[in-house]
Structure 1
Amino acid sequence: MTLTQLEIFSLVAELRGFTAAATRLGIGQSAVSHAIKSLEQELGVELFRRHQTVVEPSDIGQQLLLRARAMLGLANTLRQEAADARGMRRGTLRIGSFGPTSSMKLLPAILERFSALHPGIEVHVDEGPDRQVLQWLDERRIDVGFVVLPEERFDTFALVEDQMVALLPAAHSLADQTCVKLRDLCDDPFILTEAGSSELVWRLFNAARLAPNVRYRCSQLLSTLDIVARGDAVSVVSEGSLPLVQHPGFVVRPLSPPVPRQIGLAVLDSRQASPATLAFIELAQAVRSI
């Protein structure tokens, strides 16, 4: 068993295909197939279930995948520590990001500084809903992720705080109010943005024993803004995720009582984090701003 085999195994599982994994690695599909076959023969189990168009890990394959990713993460940390001794000239950093707050307002400035200081570190950024970033951390698919705090399962580092706000059509009856209560948002059609702090929004309503009339679910904030601007729904979003120039079709109002949201970075275990990961966190804490 080699690290190369484990890397190929992990990538085939992630991309659900031998061809896709071969393309990502820049090798032939036959080499990928041979690596998986050799690994299966050595372990004596079938790692994948083959379908017509995709492959997926078998039950034992899914179990071993977590171990493989842990081993690959440790190997990457070892490489990073060796690179750190040489001035961190080479290495890889895998970042998980969600929503406009982290992907558009926080990450660019941090990456600009990080790339200038560590040009030899190759950076991979995966974007998805906030709950998916947490899953990627659990599965060791990323080294560090932007998360909504608190997150007690991980080692976390606070960055910025903003507020959750009501998003209303400009002609809505509540648009003239200075602030809006959650219960005032339960009668209208409600749109939930899956890409941002959807879990926090649900917790807010559940804690108040309220149930929004969810009529729409969107994966992107831009779709949410468009639907609200057309007057079709109301929503609750984070202030930091909103564009600097607002559309005339919607208005933003603070919630009453105020609901702060804190954004930070999370790692599975800071004691095992690579030098590149720790350097990124240190820079992020210095650069932090929305």
Structure 2
Amino acid sequence: MTLTQLEIFSLVAELRGFTLAAHRLGISQSAVSHALKSLEQELGVELLRRHQSQVELSDIGEQLLLRARAMLGLANTLRQEAADARGMKRGTLRIGSFGPTSSIKLLPRILQQYRQAHPGIEVHIDEGPDRQVIQWLEERRIDIGFVVLPEERFDTFALIEDQMVALLPLDHPLAAHETVTLKDLCNYPFVLTEAGSSELVSRLFNAARLSPNIRYRCSQLLSTLDTVGRGDAMTVVAEGSLPFDPDPRYVKRPLSPAVTRQVGLAVLDQRQASPATLAFIQLATRLDYR
């Protein structure tokens, strides 16, 4: 068993295809097939089920994929620790980011200084909803992720704190109030965004034993803001996720009682984090985001 075989297995599982994996790795499809066949023969199990257009993991393949990614992660850490001894001139860093808060307001500032300090580190960024970033961390598909705190299953590092606010159409009856309650919001159509702090919003209503009148669900924050701007519904979002230039079609109002949100970084295990990951954490926690 070789690290190359594990890397090929992991990539084929991620992309669900031999051709895509071969193209990503810059090798022939037959080389990919041969590597996986050899790995399966050595382990004595079927890792992948081949179909006409794609492949899928077997049950044992699902289990061994997590082990393979863990081994690849440790191997990458080993390489980077050696590179660190030479000045960390090479390496990779895989980052998971969610919503405008991290992708637009935090990550660019961190990366600007990170690239200056470590130009040889190749940075890969995957973007998705907050719960997707959590899944990527658990599956070891990323080295570090932006998350809404607290997250007790990971080692975490707080970066910023903002507040949750209600967004209301400009002519909405509640727009005249200085603050609004969750109960107030249950009396009108609500749009729930699947991006950013959707899990936190759901927990807020559940904890208060309230059920918002959800009429719309949007996968992107921009679609949510447009729904509110048209006057179709209201929503609750984190203030830090809002655009720098507010839309005049809606207003934001603090919740009563006030609800804060913390955003930070998370790694699966700080003790096994690579030098490139630790350098990113050190830089990110040192910056002033005000």
* TM-score, structure 2 normalization: 0.98
Q: Which moved more, 1:21-30 or 1:159-168?
A: 21-30
Supply the distance in 1 between the matched residues of 2:288 and 2:151 (Cα, whole angstroms).
19
- Residue type of the partner of 1:256? S
Residue 183 of structure 2 is aligned to residue 183 of structure 1? yes
- Determine if contact 1:18/1:32 at 8 Å carries over to the other structure: yes
Does 2:103 correspond to 1:103? yes
**What is the deviation of 1:132?**
1.0
Q: What is the distance in 1 between the residues matched to 2:103 and 2:155? A: 21
Aligned to 1:4: 4
2:240 counterpart letter in structure 1: G
Does residue 71 (structure 1) correspond to residue 71 (structure 2)? The answer is yes
Question: Are residues 1:53 and 2:42 paired?
Answer: no
Partner of 2:147: 147
AA aligned to 1:106 is: L
CA RMSD of aligned residues (A): 0.9
**Which residue does the alignment assign to 1:255?**
255
Match of 1:264 in 2: 264
Query: Which amino acid counterpart does residue 128 of structure 1 have in structure 2?
Result: G
Q: Give identity over the alignment, percent.
A: 79
Counterpart Cα distance in 2 of 1:38 and 1:158 = 44
Cross-structure match for 1:170: 170
How far apart, in 1, do the equivalents of 2:43 and 2:89 lie?
A: 36
Deviation (angstroms), 1:130: 0.6
Say whether residues 1:212 and 2:212 are aligned partners: yes
The answer to whether residue 233 in structure 2 is matched with residue 236 in structure 1 is no
SS at match of 2:215: strand
Pairing 1:123-142 to 2, within 5 Å after superposition: 123-142=123-142
Contact in 2 for aligned 1:137/1:268 (Cα 8 Å): yes
Shift of 1:125: 0.6
Secondary structure of the equivalent of 2:53?
Answer: coil
Q: Distance in 1 between matches of 2:169 and 2:25?
A: 48
Cα deviation, residue 77, structure 1:
0.5
In 1, the alpha carbon distance for the partners of 2:144 and 2:243 equals 25
Q: How far apart are 1:51 and its partner, in Å?
A: 2.5
Aligned equivalents of 1:288, 1:211: Cα separation in 2: 37
Give the 3-state SS of the residue equivalent to 1:174 in structure 2: helix
Shift >6 Å, 4+ stretches: none
The Cα of 1:288 is off from its aligned counterpart by: 4.3
- Cα distance in 1 for partners of 2:51, 2:218 equals 30
Q: Give SS of 1:180's match.
A: coil
- Other-structure match for 2:31: 31
Aligned residue pairs, count: 290
Alpha-carbon shift at residue 53 of structure 1 (Å): 2.2
Counterpart residue number, 1:43: 43
Separation in 2, partners of 1:77, 1:99: 28
Q: 1:2 to 1:28 in 2, by over 3 A?
A: same
- Structure 2 CA distance for partners of 1:219 and 1:181, relative to 1, 3 Å: same
- What secondary structure is seen at the aligned counterpart in 1 of 2:156? strand
What is the distance in 2 between the residues matched to 1:246 and 1:183? 25
Amino acid at match of 1:266: A
Q: Which amino acid aligns with 2:157?
A: F
Q: Cα deviations across residues 211-236 of structure 1 (Å, max 9, x unaligned)?
A: 01112111110000111100111100
Cα distance in 2 for partners of 1:33, 1:231 equals: 54
SS of residue in 2 equivalent to 1:95: strand
In structure 1, what residue type is equivalent to 2:45? V
Sort the Cα spacing of 1:218 and 1:29 in 2 relative to 1 into closer, same or farther, 3 A.
same
1:287 equivalent in alignment to 2:287: yes
Q: Is the 8 A contact 1:106 1:288 kept in 2?
A: no
